[in-house]
Amino acid sequence: MKTLKFRSNLAELVLKGEKTVTWRLFDDKNLQVGDELVLIVKETLVEFAKAIILNVTEKKLGDVTEQDYTGHEKFIDKEDMLKHYKEYYGEKVTLDTLVKIISFRLV
């Protein structure tokens, strides 16, 4: 089973059913539809749920639309989005960076 880590505040949203989509850059796990996932709290490395991937879409960060935010936390604007992902992935992130938009459900 593949694992995905979420910060504790996002793990809470997942458990409440408010967060059903995650965006991942530089996917080193080859995440695909049907993959079973173990969801882990990043700060504690404790498993908090299991999930299955329902849909995967790939596009450039600069091409993300309002529809892509359904089930995902919002950003103020594209600059805010870039700042957020640079904190996770470093300065190599640009609007041309590919993002995997992953829809999942808890099992």
> Going from the N-terminus, what domains does the chain have, and what CATH number goes with each?
2-106 (3.10.400.10)
Q: Which long-range contacts (CB under 8 A, 24 or more apart) does 70-74 make?
A: 70/21, 71/18, 71/19, 71/20, 71/21, 71/103, 72/19, 72/21, 72/22, 72/23, 72/101, 73/10, 73/13, 73/19
- Residue pointed to by tokens 């979420």: 6
Per-residue pLDDT of the chain (107 residues; tens, 9 = 90+): 999 999 999 999 999 999 999 999 999 999 999 999 999 999 999 999 999 999 999 999 999 999 999 999 999 999 999 999 999 899 999 999 999 999 999 99
Note whether 88 and 25 are within 8 A (CB). yes
DSSP lists the bridge partners of residue 53 as 104
**How confident is the model at residue 35, as a pLDDT?**
98
pLDDT at 88: 87
Question: What's the pLDDT at 86?
Answer: 95
Neighbours of 49 (CB within 10 A): 17
Q: Give the span between the Cα atoms of 54 and 37, in whole angstroms.
A: 11
